[in-house]
Chain A
Amino acid sequence: TQLLEQSPQFLSIQEGENLTVYCNSSSVFSSLQWYRQEPGEGPVLLVTVVTGGEVKKLKRLTFQFGDARKDSSLHITAAQPGDTGLYLCAGARGTYKYIFGTGTRLKVLA
């Protein structure tokens, strides 16, 4: 059973555009993480959010955890070709169990 739904599933945009990726669930998570994955490689951790309503910024990337800790969003400002990749959210259920989202494949065209 997939507990974390990401939208959109695919996104192709021009360099310089802004975009938002959503990660939604009906379950509460103790924390939530965002990863970016390149083809044929392991995911790389971008950020961890813990508190409901928390906002974190990583250069042009802004991450927000929903007030109820059931959803999250990733906003990219002025996207660049280097942002291309598969973006994954992962919610923590308890201490050790992580549920991964369905993934959003982003392509930024130069």
Chain B
Amino acid sequence: SQTIHQWPATLVQPVGSPLSLECTVEGTSNPNLYWYRQAAGRGLQLLFYSVGIGQISSEVPQNLSASRPQDRQFILSSKKLLLSDSGFYLCAWGFSGGREQYFGPGTRLTVT
């Protein structure tokens, strides 16, 4: 079976500091990978998706970037965090060519 991990679970960072959130998937190969951000109690906003190593598509111009250095690893980064970057960050995976997405447990980021 497949498993998705995200870390850290919670993060408090000052404005202007860098960010690195990591997501890994086990039990599958060549998954589609996604990063979403969720405002409190609301819907999800797609940030990035990747269909293969080194292939990243950005949906929203912003202060964030994503990388996929390995087949089952997806990283969300920022060089300098803004207050508006606070939120609940969710990583998801899906089978290549499949419709469904399966979400990780999320990272709660608070920028102070």
Q: Is A52 an interface residue (CB 8 A)?
A: no
Rounded to whole angstroms, the CA-CA distance of A99 and B92 in the bound complex is 14
In the complex, the answer to whether B101 meets A100 with C-beta atoms within 8 Å is: no
Chain A residues 19-48 with CB under 8 Å of chain B are: 30-31, 33, 35, 40-45, 48
Rounded to whole angstroms, the CA-CA distance of A91 and B90 in the bound complex is 17
Given contacts A31-B99, A44-B103, contact A96 B57 (CB under 8 A): yes
Main secondary structure on B side of the interface with A? strand
CB-CB under 8 A from A101, the residues of chain B are 43
Over the window 15-53 of chain B, the binary record of Cβ atoms lying under 8 Å from chain A Cβ atoms (1 yes, 0 no) is 000000000000000001010100001111110010100
Rounded to whole angstroms, the CA-CA distance of A15 and B108 in the bound complex is 32
In the complex, the answer to whether A33 meets B100 with C-beta atoms within 8 Å is: yes
CB-CB under 8 A from B92, the residues of chain A are 42
Q: Which of B43, B100, B102 has the largest count of A CB atoms less than 10 A from its CB?
A: B43
Q: Which of A33, A50, A98, A100 has the largest count of B CB atoms less than 10 A from its CB?
A: A98
In the complex, the answer to whether A86 meets B41 with C-beta atoms within 8 Å is: yes
CB-CB under 8 A from A2, the residues of chain B are 43
Chain A residues 76-110 with CB under 8 Å of chain B are: 86, 88, 90, 92, 95-103, 105
Residue of B nearest to A102 (CB): B43
Query: What number of B residues sit within 8 Å (CB to CB) of A?
Result: 25
Over the window 56-97 of chain B, the binary record of Cβ atoms lying under 8 Å from chain A Cβ atoms (1 yes, 0 no) is 010100000000000000000000000000000010100001
Rounded to whole angstroms, the CA-CA distance of A61 and B102 in the bound complex is 20
Seen from chain A, the residues whose Cβ lies within 8 Å of a Cβ on chain B are 2, 4, 6, 30-31, 33, 35, 40-45, 48, 50, 86, 88, 90, 92, 95-103, 105
Seen from chain B, the residues whose Cβ lies within 8 Å of a Cβ on chain A are 32, 34, 36, 41-46, 49, 51, 57, 59, 90, 92, 97, 99-106, 108
What are 6 sample pairs from A and B whose C-beta atoms fall under 8 A apart?
Answer: A50-B99, A96-B49, A96-B51, A100-B44, A100-B46, A103-B42
